[in-house]
């Protein structure tokens, strides 16, 4: 006969423990999962930490490299004191500069024969406006008559000259492709004398400044300028000739009290149809040029 008295506490606890153990054994994989999830999360955090550490290390390594060797290749170092680069005019290539042509009525352009001798074609600037006498004064003042730099202060004093380049500008102004390469920089002057090249060196750059003659020609109105610019493109004239103008200005109503000028420039140099970022255009020097010339009539 079974003992009707209730089981002792020890027996009850023992039974409960066994029941629990059996239950937990049946669900062993649930338990394993419960333990593994936090372990997995910890491992994930550890991995992220490792990756971040590695990244931070390479960044500070790079900063150190930049400190010890600021000329590291690849443009990755910050430029703490960017040099004051002189602004330049965009000049057409020698053999594409504007010359006399049958499809143009103007006789003041240079003869086509200049294209045969390297360096002998002048660069042309066109001027129009309401007042031809002002245009005449301005075109006599627009170019500097010499090339001069202060050897103890080269870069800033370069900007006092009228310099130009046939090379397009880059995507930023920190490294002008013109200044970094070894092609000559042009100094535009009304007439080039016999001595027409000057050596130029600053920072680590050795280059040469070459005189190029500048012509500043008056046109009767802006429609004529537009027409001449349009016909200067090889698609704009029946002969398929390229006749490029360096810059053109419409002085409009400009007088001693009022500066009101339109500037033409060639926007092809922006390279807007390529997939790369837009390039800069060399317009600032063009603005300074006409402004400075109109300040000293
Ligand atoms: C050349 O530059 C130095 C330094 O800026 C200046 O002291 C000097 O007066 C300049 N010389 C001329 C002729 O402008
Ligand atoms: C501005 O024009 C004056 C007078 O022609 C000239 O002496 C000076 O060098 C010019 N400055 C620049 C920055 O072109
Ligand atoms: C420009 O104007 C001048 C004077 O008014 C005139 O002689 C000349 O033929 C004009 N030029 C053109 C291309 O129309
Ligand atoms: C503008 O510049 C481009 C690129 O150098 C050249 O091909 C084109 O002829 C220029 N257009 C004019 C009107 O000068
Ligand atoms: C500048 O010239 C344009 C065209 O000639 C004219 O419409 C405008 O009123 C002028 N602006 C000033 C400030 O004179």
Q: pLDDT tens digits, residue range 274-289?
A: 888 888 899 999 999 9
Q: Which atom of ligand 3 is nearest to the CA of 105?
A: 13
- Ligand 3 within 6 A of 220 CB? yes
Question: Are 24 and 145 members of one domain?
Answer: no
Q: Which of 21, 36, 68 is the last residue of a domain?
A: 68
Protein residues with CB under 6 Å of any ligand 4 atom: 229, 232-233, 242, 244, 266, 268
Which residue in this structure is represented by tokens 């053109």? 248
Q: For residues 263 and 126, give the distance between their C-alpha atoms in angstroms, rounded to a whole number.
A: 10
Question: Are 270 and 232 members of one domain?
Answer: yes
| Residue 75 maps to a domain | no
**Model pLDDT for residues 167-190, shown as the tens digit of each residue:** 888 887 776 666 666 678 899 999
| Residue 107 maps to a domain | yes
| Residue 82 maps to a domain | no
Question: Are 223 and 279 members of one domain?
Answer: yes
- 39 C-alpha vs ligand 5 centroid, how far in Å? 75
What is the share, in percent, of the chain residues with pLDDT greater than 90? 55
Question: Are 61 and 144 members of one domain?
Answer: no
**Model pLDDT for residues 61-117, shown as the tens digit of each residue:** 877 777 777 666 556 777 777 777 788 999 999 999 999 999 999 999 999 999 998
- 160 C-alpha vs ligand 2 centroid, how far in Å? 6
Q: Which atom of ligand 2 is nearest to the CA of 162?
A: 14
Q: Are 245 and 232 in contact (CB under 8 A)?
A: yes
pLDDT at 179 (0 to 100) = 65
Question: Are 27 and 96 members of one domain?
Answer: no
Question: Are 121 and 150 members of one domain?
Answer: yes
Q: Using a cut of 0.85, tell me whether the model's pTM lies above it.
A: no
Using the predicted structure, report yes or no on whether residue 4 has a pLDDT greater than 70: no
Question: Are 48 and 96 members of one domain?
Answer: no
Question: Are 106 and 55 members of one domain?
Answer: no
Q: For residues 227 and 222, give the distance between their C-alpha atoms in angstroms, rounded to a whole number.
A: 8
Q: Are 296 and 272 in contact (CB under 8 A)?
A: no
Give the Cα-Cα-Cα angle 290, 291, 295 (nearest 5 degrees): 115
| Residue 104 maps to a domain | yes
- Ligand 2 within 6 A of 287 CB? no
Question: Are 148 and 285 members of one domain?
Answer: yes
Place 215 in a pLDDT band, splitting at 50, 70 and 90: very high
DSSP assignment, residue 39? H
Question: Are 261 and 211 members of one domain?
Answer: yes
- Ligand 5 within 6 A of 260 CB? yes
Question: Are 141 and 51 members of one domain?
Answer: no
Q: Which residues are CB-neighbours of 79 under 8 A, at least 6 positions away?
A: 174
Q: For residues 236 and 213, give the distance between their C-alpha atoms in angstroms, rounded to a whole number.
A: 26
Which ligand sits nearest to residue 257's alpha carbon?
5
pLDDT at 246 (0 to 100) = 95
- Which domain does 14 fall in, by range? 10-68
Q: Which residues are CB-neighbours of 119 under 8 A, at least 6 positions away?
A: 94, 210, 212
Helix (H, G, I), strand (E, B) or coil at 62: helix
Dmax (CA) of the chain: 139
Number of domains observed in the structure of the chain: 2
More confident residue, 54 or 271: 54
- Ligand 5 within 6 A of 253 CB? yes
- Ligand 5 within 6 A of 259 CB? no
Place 250 in a pLDDT band, splitting at 50, 70 and 90: very high
Q: Which residues are CB-neighbours of 141 under 8 A, at least 6 positions away?
A: 293, 296, 297
Q: How many residues does the chain have?
A: 297
pLDDT at 72 (0 to 100) = 60
Q: Which atom of ligand 1 is nearest to the CA of 153?
A: 2
Question: Are 43 and 108 members of one domain?
Answer: no
**Model pLDDT for residues 44-56, shown as the tens digit of each residue:** 999 999 999 999 9
- 254 C-alpha vs ligand 5 centroid, how far in Å? 9
């Amino acid at each position: 006969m079974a003992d009707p008295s209730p089981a002792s506490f020890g027996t009850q606890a023992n039974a409960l423990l066994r029941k629990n153990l059996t239950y937990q054994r049946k669900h062993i994989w649930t338990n394993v999962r419960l333990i593994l999830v936090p372990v997995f999360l910890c491992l994930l955090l550890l991995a992220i930490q490792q990756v971040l550490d590695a990244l931070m290390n390479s960044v500070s390594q790079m900063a150190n490299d930049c400190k010890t060797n600021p000329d590291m290749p690849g443009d990755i170092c910050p430029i703490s004191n960017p040099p004051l680069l002189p602004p330049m005019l965009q000049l057409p290539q020698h053999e594409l500069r504007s010359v006399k042509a049958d499809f143009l009525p103007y006789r003041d352009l240079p003869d086509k024969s200049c294209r045969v001798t390297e360096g002998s074609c002048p660069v042309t600037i066109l001027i129009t406006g309401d007042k031809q006498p002002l245009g005449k004064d301005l075109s006599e003042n627009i170019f500097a008559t010499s090339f001069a730099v202060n050897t103890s202060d080269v870069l800033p004093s370069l900007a006092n000259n009228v310099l130009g380049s046939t090379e397009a500008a880059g995507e930023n102004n920190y490294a002008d492709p013109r200044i970094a390469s070894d092609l000559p920089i042009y100094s535009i002057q009304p007439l080039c004398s016999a001595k027409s090249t000057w050596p130029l060196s600053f920072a680590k750059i050795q280059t040469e400044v070459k005189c190029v003659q500048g012509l500043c020609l008056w046109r009767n109105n802006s429609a004529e300028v537009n027409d001449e610019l349009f016909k200067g493109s090889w698609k704009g004239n029946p002969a398929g000739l390229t006749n490029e103008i360096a810059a053109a200005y419409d002085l409009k109503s400009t007088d001693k009290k009022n500066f009101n000028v339109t500037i033409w420039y060639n926007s092809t140099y922006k390279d807007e149809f390529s997939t790369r970022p837009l390039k800069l255009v060399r317009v600032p020097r063009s603005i300074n040029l006409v402004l400075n010339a109109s300040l000293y009539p």
